Amino acid sequence: MSELLKVVRERRSANKFMEGIEVPKKELDSIFEDLTSAPSAFNLQHANYYVVKDPEVKEAVYEAAFKQYKVRSASAVIIVAGDKSAYQNAESIYEGSKLLGIIDEKEFHSMVDIIYELYEGWGDSFQHDEAIRNASLSAMLFMLLAKERGWDTCPMIYFDQEKIKEILNISDREIPAIMITIGKSDPDSVKLRGSRKATNEFVKYF
Ligand SMILES: Cc1cc2nc3c(=O)[nH]c(=O)nc-3n(C[C@H](O)[C@H](O)[C@H](O)COP(=O)(O)O)c2cc1C
């Protein structure tokens, strides 16, 4: 079995983390380094990560996540936020591609124009969807990269978005799309994987 398949099959949403386990910053940094390969619409890199390791801040996040115990026992809690205004970074991102010779001046202007037209033309709801969409894809890759390094995770949506924004000083341009708890899963808490639909129930070929 390939390494990737092993990681995909072995990743589970942790029910309970073992207490008192520290996730080294070096380990998280190395995951974030690989995470830079994640895809994003127009390469706009909408996802921002807020990593909580400090016990006091973690306690406040635990309260904002309606006291879900796994937040308290996790080695770290991470908020993946999607930036609704990521399109406004188009110039600086594409400037980099121009300097690297990947695109020329004409392509630079055309890409920047297309991006602004799309995001401003399609407006708030598109910017909102894009923030969630791109942050979610990034979060999935984060969880796989963590698992590959022996760390368990749980994606979570049951939290008070406004409280989380306040605690972590997240701007109104960003949407806390998903919370990821990370740590070492308590082996006694692992249950069988919940039943899954058969592929013919969720795949349609045309
Ligand atoms: C978007 C999303 C939100 C979730 N929110 C929570 C949550 O708030 N609390 C929780 O304990 N698990 C949460 N989960 C984990 C799911 O319950 C879990 O992925 C599902 O039961 C399948 O189990 P598995 O990931 O172990 O295969 C969430 C998962 C996803 C993808």
Q: How confident is the model at residue 93 (pLDDT cuts 50, 70, 90)?
A: very high
Find out whether the beta carbon of 67 lies less than 6 Å from any atom of ligand 1: no
Residue 199 pLDDT: 97
Name, in order, each residue with C-beta under 8 angstroms of 188's C-beta and a sequence gap of 6 or more.
16
CATH number assigned to the domain comprising residue 159: 3.40.109.10
Domain assignment present for 115: yes
Kindly give the number of the ligand 1 atom that is closest to the alpha carbon of 158: 8
Residue with the nearest Cα to atom 5 of ligand 1? 156
Q: What are the tokens at 100? A: 């690297």
Domain assignment present for 74: yes
> Domain of 161?
3-183
Domain assignment present for 26: yes
Domain assignment present for 192: no
Find out whether the beta carbon of 197 lies less than 6 Å from any atom of ligand 1: no
For residue range 9-30, what is the model confidence (pLDDT) as tens digits?
999 999 999 999 999 999 999 9
Domain assignment present for 198: no
Domain assignment present for 189: no
> How remote is the CA of residue 42 from the centroid of ligand 1, in Å?
28
Which one, of 166, 179, 144, lies nearest residue 72 by Cα?
A: 179
What's the structural domain count of the chain? 1
Residue 159 pLDDT: 98
For residue range 197-206, what is the model confidence (pLDDT) as tens digits?
999 999 999 9
Domain assignment present for 81: yes
